[in-house]
Every structure is written in structure tokens, then in C-alpha cells.
Amino acid sequence: MSVKHYKLVRLLLLIFLGVWLVLIMFPFYFQIITSLKDVAEVNRIEPTFWPEVFVLENYSAIWNEPGNFKSLVDSFIIATCNTILSLFFGTLAGYALARFPRQSGGENVAMWILSNRMFPPVAVLLPMFFLFEELFGTTDTHMALIILYLVFNMPLAVWLMMVFFRDVPRELEEAAYVDGHKPFKVFFTITLPLVGPGMVAVAMLCWIFSWNEYLFANMFIGTDVKTFPVVIPSFTSGSQTLWNLVMAFSLVAMIPPVVLFIILRRYMVRGLSLGVVKG
Amino acid sequence: MAEVRLSEVNKVYEGRGQQVHAVRDLDLVVEDGEFVSIVGPSGCGKSTTLRMIVGLEQATSGQILFDGDMVNDLDPQERNVAMAFENYALYPNFSAEENIGFPLEARGIPKQERRRRVHELAELLQIGNILHQHPNTLSGGQKQRVSLARALIREPAAFILDEVLGHVDGHLRFQMLFDLKRLHQSLDSTMIFVTHDQMEAIALSDRIAVLHQGRLVQSGTRDELYDTPATRFVADFIGEPPTNFFDARFVEEGGEETLRADDLALRPTAETAARLRSRDDRRYVVGIRPQNLLCTPRAGTISFDATIDIHEYLGERSILTLRRGGLSFQALASAEGSWAADEPITLHYRPEDIMVFDAESEALIA
């Protein structure tokens, strides 16, 4: 390809990326400016693309309701506990399925576990509600959602961890056995570090799912425990929606996952290309 | 160091509704301090045999004995064997030094002592300068040395080397062959080496065991395998270039007993002829090594004519591919000769060099 062509292609690419960037960034931009407008401007029929007055007070107004901050804390507790449990079970089950397919049921069981993730959640919403009600007396607890989200997160964790474990050459473990180490020691010192980046990826997926989940949270909790997706609709009153507060609160709720991603990204990229054995 | 004895060992894999008999009735003794190679083509069961010795695979039946003690039910951790893997199997999250010291860690040897022994061994293997590096920054040869060092760091009952030169190429391979031989000599250790390359086996071993389709076909010294191969398979497998084989009939022509393959009449020794005469069947497979087809006559040789098809120049020697009638075969010649395609040549052989195999069982008759 000639230099001229190369430049043309590059130009087209930049134009395409520019357009794409505008398309996906616009909603975000609109969210930010909306969170800074006053109520009157927000509810105007003709939208404004730059706030006429900056109302920074919106960001303090969202905390007026004392439950709002607690909802972020609740969300964090539920998402984190669920992630830890998903990862714990997913790692153990994934290892079993990858290394001992015969004893653990193999491909069929793995497929069945994954299929749990495939049904539409709405289908089991009501049965789940009554089931939890019967079993625990109430659904309005952290534990209810932590357990419930396992239904969605654990299959994903099991399946992905299985794939990651399969990528770890069996010879590494065998070499360690021959070197005289016990299976648990081998698992924790040799195998687990190699799937570490995979675990981080799985943790992120599980955490984000639990953090954002609305359907079950709306049904199960709301009095003693509230997650933030349940709180956001509460900015709608009978006559109007306080979009500015909705946007402000949503923006605040975006901070934890973004921070988490930035922190964990380092661990994800590192070591993904292992170069363990020569094929 | 220990003597390793396999006695009527079988391994059957249960697949999906089918059984694979990977190793059949294997009897093999590796003496204390001996270097034994297990050779055979892919899928002959050599790696399975190795894994059973190490304990990574359970024998379906039979006994595996180290110095007379049965180890069948022992885990690899308890067997005290050291293994070097084909693909190195270095722990990627450890440095080379940690890799080599890992077996010592399992034995509760303190850190200072571990360090000292790792550095000592590293000197011997000339990897002292890469001990701080991680495996993914090492070259193939360096990885192989680290992996060997990890196997050599302790004093095991036996060293098991699984195709350790498989990924090492050309020049380095000779160096590694030399290193292995030297290590064996200086450590005086029992070593079992698996390879599909008969060259490596011949270069290194005291004794070679040839496996074919899960069975031990023959075990013996290099000379035994070379001069009196038990079957056609061994004759074919050991030696480079491979032995020439002809389907032949044992007939009497003009008062002479000969083995006739198409246009070619090969004269067996009187002893061989007597043995063939006493048998009922007339059809045999005759083998003669390319090294034993000579271009110059010697005492007691018999000659025949052929035509040169291809001349491969290999430096100090040449491989000639020849034809005579419908037969095609190879001979080794000195590179000094001027060989040209389609030119006639006279070849000489000694009747003792002719190997005769049963056409059915392919076992050596004479």
C-alpha cells in the first residue's frame, strides 16, 4: 500500500472513530449537564445543551434523603459479598470440571450449570420471591440478594474459571507433584496464581452484575435494605421527575465501578500471555 | 539410586465405550545406575509407561518395583523420582532459581541451604547467570537446562526424562546430548529416557527398549538391536537410513539356495539356508542395511548390479537411492565417489548381513 493510501485509510478511520465517539459519549455528556441544571430547565420541552445556570446544589440535594447514601453502601455490600462467594464456588467447581471431568460430570454438568444463566430472570421472579419468603420469613435482607445473585453469577464464574483452568498446562501440576508437593500446596502456589488474571475478570463481571441489578432488588428489598438502582426511581414524585437529581445520583453511583475497574485492570492485563510451555 | 523393575504391567484406558490397551504385559528392568532409553513411534505407549513409573498414571495391572519395593499405590510425591518434561513445565510465576529449588522446598530444606545447592548445580549446567530470570524470558535451551536442574537438584531413586530434547534444535541438541551423558556418568544415576528419536537413544543409552503398539518388542544394547533385531519393526526403527526390505521367496536356482526378490537374488549363509530349509513356508521378508551395501568388494562379498536413481550428498557420506527391476532400495556410499543418476553401479554384500524375517509374524529367523 502506498503512503497516500495509508494516509487516506488513517483519515477515514479517524473520522469513523470520531463519529462513534460522539455517538456514545453524547448520552454521558447529557447526563452530566442535566445533573447540573435546575428543575425548571430540565423539564423544559425544548432541551438545552448547556446549563443556563449551574446548580451544584443538586449533588448535595441527593443526600437529603438519609437512605440514599446507605443504598450505595448496601449495594456495595451485596455486590462484594456475592462476588466473593461466586468466585469461591466458581474457582473450586471450575477446577474440578477442568481437571477431573470424569468424576465431576464433565461437559454435561458444565453445560447444565451454564444453562442456568440462560433462562429469562423474569420467569422465576415470583417463584423465587415466595421461596425466599417461605424459607427465611423475609426477603428484605442483604443475604437474600447475595444468595439470589449467585444463581446468575455462579454459572458464569464456574464456566469461565473452568476455561481458565483448562488453559493451565496439566504438566505444571504434575511436575509439582513429582517435585514432592501435596495437591493443596500445588493448587495454591502453582495453579491459582496462573488463573489470577482470569479471576479478576470474573470478579469484575460478577460485581458489575450485582451492582446494577434492578429487577430482583425492586421485588425483594426496599425497606430495611435498599440498593441504589431501587433508589433512583424514587426521585420521581407524583407530578414530576427530578431528572437532575436522577442524573446526579446515577453519576455518583458510577464512581465505584469505574474506580474498581481502574484498580483491577492492572492485574487483568498482567500475565495474560503467560508463555508457560512451548507448544 | 535404585533399580526400577516393571513386571507384567498393563495399562488400559477406558474411553467412551471403548478400551484402549496402551501398554501390554510390559516386563522391563532398569539396573541401578543404568541409562535406559524407551523408544518407539508416537502412540506406542512409551509416555504412558513413563507416567506409570513416576506415579502420574495408575497401572491397570502388574507391579512396579523400586529396589524390590512395590510402589504401585504410592503417589508421585512419595516415590522419590525426578522428572523432566518435554515441554519443560517450568512454573511461570517463579524465577529460575525458585523453580530449581522447589523440590527442596517440599523436603523442608532451609532457604540458605537451598540457595547454596541451586547455585552449585547452576554452575554445573552453566545457567548461573540466568537464575534470577523468569521462564518466559528464557530461550528453549535455557528452559531445558532449568528443567533438568530441577530434576537433578535432589537425589531421587531414578531420573525420568520425557522427550527432553524434543523441542531443542540442531546444534543445541548435540550439546544437550553431551550434557546428559556427562551428567549420567558423573552422577552414576538410574536414568530412564523416553524418545521417539532412535539417534538420541543410541547416543545416550546403555540399553534401549523398543516399544511398538504397547508391547516391548526388544530390549538390549545398541549392538544387539542393530545386529540382531527381534522383528522387522526393530530393524526398521533402529538405524539411519532405515533398512531395505524385500518380499522374497526361498528357492533353489541352479543348485544354489537363494532368496529371490523380483530380479534380485540374495545368497544367504549356509547356516541361514539350513534353517530356512527346515521350515515349511517359502515366503520371507529380507532386510539389509544400507550401510551393508558396499560399493567396493571385500573378502567374502557377493555382488550384483543396480542403477542409481537419486544421489543425496550428506557431507562425509552419500545416500544412494537405487533401483533394480521393480525394486527400490538405498545404500550408503562415501562422498568421494562420483555418483550420477541413471548410471550403473555394482554393489557388494556379505551373506552374514542379510536378515531374514517371517512374512507373517515379522520375527527374525536368521
> A17 pLDDT exceeds 90?
yes
**Tell me, what's the pLDDT at A269?**
61
CB contact under 8 A, B136 and A172: no
Mean pLDDT of B347-354: 92
Mean pLDDT of B177-189: 85
pLDDT bracket for residue B99 (50, 70, 90): very high
Give tens-digit pLDDT for A71-128.
999 999 999 999 999 999 999 999 999 999 888 888 889 899 888 888 888 888 899 8
Strand partners, B320: B311, B331
CATH number listed for the domain at residues A64-269: 1.10.3720.10
Mean pLDDT of B260-283: 86
Give, as one character, the DSSP assignment of residue A137.
S
**Tell me, what's the pLDDT at A274?**
46
| Residue in A177, A271, A278 closest to B77 by CB | A177
**Which residue in chain B has the smallest CA separation from A182?**
B77
Q: How many CB atoms lie within 10 A of CB A234?
A: 17
pLDDT bracket for residue A270 (50, 70, 90): low
> A278 pLDDT exceeds 60?
no
Beta carbons of A86 and A150 less than 8 angstroms apart: yes
Mean pLDDT of A221-227: 88
**Which residue in chain B has the smallest CA separation from A169?**
B89
CB contact under 8 A, A171 and B107: no
Q: Which three cell numbers stand for residue A201?
A: 475478570
Amino acid at A64: N
| Residue in A175, A275, A279 closest to B83 by CB | A175
Q: Which residues of B touch A178 (CB under 8 A)?
A: 54-56, 76-77, 81-83
Interface mutation target, options B14, B86, B91, B137, chain A, most CBs of A under 10 Å:
B91
**Tell me, what's the pLDDT at A254?**
93
Give tens-digit pLDDT for A163-204.
999 988 888 999 999 999 999 999 999 999 889 888 998 999
Percent share of chain B, pLDDT over 70 = 100
Please choose, from the candidates B244, B157, B203, the residue with its C-alpha nearest in 3D space to the C-alpha of residue B39: B203
d(CA B57, CA B250): 47
Q: Which residues of A touch B92 (CB under 8 A)?
A: 172, 194, 271, 274-276
Percent share of chain A, pLDDT over 90 = 52
CB contact under 8 A, A194 and B102: no
Q: How are the residues of chain A apportioned to helix, strand and coil, as percentages rounded to the nearest 5?
A: 75, 0, 25
Mean pLDDT of B129-138: 91
Domains of chain B, with CATH numbers?
Answer: 4-237 (3.40.50.300), 244-358 (2.40.50.140)
Beta carbons of B122 and B83 less than 8 angstroms apart: no
Distances (CA, A) of A86 to A122, A199, B309: 21, 10, 70
Q: Which residues of B touch A182 (CB under 8 A)?
A: 77
**Which residue in chain B has the smallest CA separation from A278?**
B87
d(CA B291, CA A145): 79
Find all residues with CB under 8 Å of B60, minimum gap 6, and list them. B10, B11, B12
Peptide bond between residue A233 and the one before it cis (omega within 30 degrees of 0)? no
d(CA B344, CA B322): 9
**Tell me, what's the pLDDT at B288?**
93
CB contact under 8 A, B102 and A278: no
Quote the minimal CA–CA distance from A185 to chain B in Å.
10
d(CA B241, CA B329): 11
**Which residue in chain B has the smallest CA separation from A193?**
B93
> B253 pLDDT exceeds 90?
no
d(CA B31, CA B53): 14
**Tell me, what's the pLDDT at B100?**
93
Mean pLDDT of A251-255: 94
**Better-predicted residue by pLDDT, A40 or B207:** B207
**Mean pLDDT for chain A overall:** 88
Q: Specify which of A84-88, A220-224, B200-204 reaches the highest per-range mean pLDDT.
A: A84-88
Quote the minimal CA–CA distance from A56 to chain B in Å.
50
Would you call A35 helix, strand, or coil by DSSP? coil
> B281 pLDDT exceeds 90?
no
Find all residues with CB under 8 Å of B227, minimum gap 6, and list them. none
**Tell me, what's the pLDDT at A1?**
60
Burial class for B295, CB neighbours closer than 10 Å (0-12, 13-18, 19+): middle
CB of A279 within 8 Å of a chain B CB? The answer is yes
Q: Which three cell numbers stand for residue B70?
A: 512395590
d(CA B364, CA B215): 17
Interface mutation target, options A167, A171, A177, A178, chain B, most CBs of B under 10 Å:
A178
> A271 pLDDT exceeds 70?
no
| Residue in B54, B55, B140 closest to A278 by CB | B140
Quote the minimal CA–CA distance from B167 to chain A in Å.
8
Phi-psi region of B36 (alpha: psi -120 to 50; beta: other; left: phi over 0): beta
**Better-predicted residue by pLDDT, A269 or B100:** B100
d(CA B49, CA B193): 11
Mean pLDDT of A49-66: 88
Q: Which residues of B touch A276 (CB under 8 A)?
A: 90, 92, 135-136
Q: Which residues of B touch A179 (CB under 8 A)?
A: 82, 102-103, 106, 150
Show the 3-state SS of chain B. CCCEEEEEEEEEEECCCCEEEEEEEEEEEECCCCEEEEECCCCCCHHHHHHHHHCCCCCCEEEEEECCEECCCCCHHHHCEEEECCCCCCCCCCCHHHHHHHHHHHCCCCHHHHHHHHHHHHHHHCCHHHCCCCHHHCCHHHHHHHHHHHHHCCCCCEEEEECCCCCCCHHHHHHHHHHHHHHHHHHCCCEEEEECCHHHHHHHCCEEEEEECCEEEEEECHHHHHHCCCEHHHHHHCCCCCCEEEEEEEEEECCEEEEEECCEEECCCHHHHHHHHCCCCCEEEEEECHHHCECCCCCCCEEEEEEEEEEEECCCEEEEEEEECCEEEEEEEECCCCCCCCCEEEEEECHHHCEEEECCCCEECC
CB of A275 within 8 Å of a chain B CB? The answer is yes
| Residue in B87, B93, B103 closest to A179 by CB | B103
Mean pLDDT of B86-94: 89
Please choose, from the candidates B229, B244, B152, the residue with its C-alpha nearest in 3D space to the C-alpha of residue B198: B229
**Tell me, what's the pLDDT at A251?**
93
CB contact under 8 A, B91 and A172: yes
**Tell me, what's the pLDDT at B357?**
92
d(CA B195, CA B197): 5
Quote the minimal CA–CA distance from B156 to chain A in Å.
10
Give, as one character, the DSSP assignment of residue A273.
S
CB of A174 within 8 Å of a chain B CB? The answer is yes
Mean pLDDT of A224-232: 91
Q: Which residues of A159-194 are buried (b: 16+ CB within 10 A; e: fewer)?
A: bbbbebbbebbebbbbbbbbbbbeeeebbebbbbbb
Q: Which residues of B129-159 are buried (b: 16+ CB within 10 A; e: fewer)?
A: ebbeebbeebeebbbbbbbbbbbbbbebbbb
Beta carbons of A178 and B82 less than 8 angstroms apart: yes
> A273 pLDDT exceeds 60?
no
**Mean pLDDT for chain B overall:** 89
Give, as one character, the DSSP assignment of residue A44.
-
CB pairs under 8 A between A and B: 76
Element (H, E) at A46: none
Q: Which residues of B touch A275 (CB under 8 A)?
A: 92, 135-136
**Tell me, what's the pLDDT at A30?**
93
Give tens-digit pLDDT for B312-342.
888 888 899 999 988 999 999 887 777 888 8
| Residue in A178, A193, A274 closest to B136 by CB | A274
d(CA B98, CA B100): 5
Q: Specify which of B7-21, B184-198, B210-224 reaches the highest per-range mean pLDDT.
A: B210-224
Domain boundary assignment for chain A: 3-58, 64-269
Quote the minimal CA–CA distance from B150 to chain A in Å.
8
Interface of B with A (CB under 8 A): 54-56, 75-77, 80-83, 85, 87-93, 102-103, 105-107, 135-136, 140, 143, 150, 154, 167
Mean pLDDT of A224-246: 88
Distances (CA, A) of B209 to B11, B81, B163, B166, B339: 18, 20, 15, 18, 37
Record the pTM.
0.80
Amino acid at B95: S
| Residue in B54, B90, B107 closest to A178 by CB | B54
| Residue in B76, B82, B93 closest to A193 by CB | B93
**Tell me, what's the pLDDT at B350?**
93
Amino acid at A196: G
Among A57-66, A261-270, B130-139, which stretch is predicted with the lowest mean pLDDT?
A261-270
Give tens-digit pLDDT for A159-168.
999 999 998 8
Mean pLDDT of B101-129: 90
CB of A102 within 8 Å of a chain B CB? The answer is no
d(CA A60, CA A55): 10
**Tell me, what's the pLDDT at B112?**
93
**Tell me, what's the pLDDT at B126?**
83
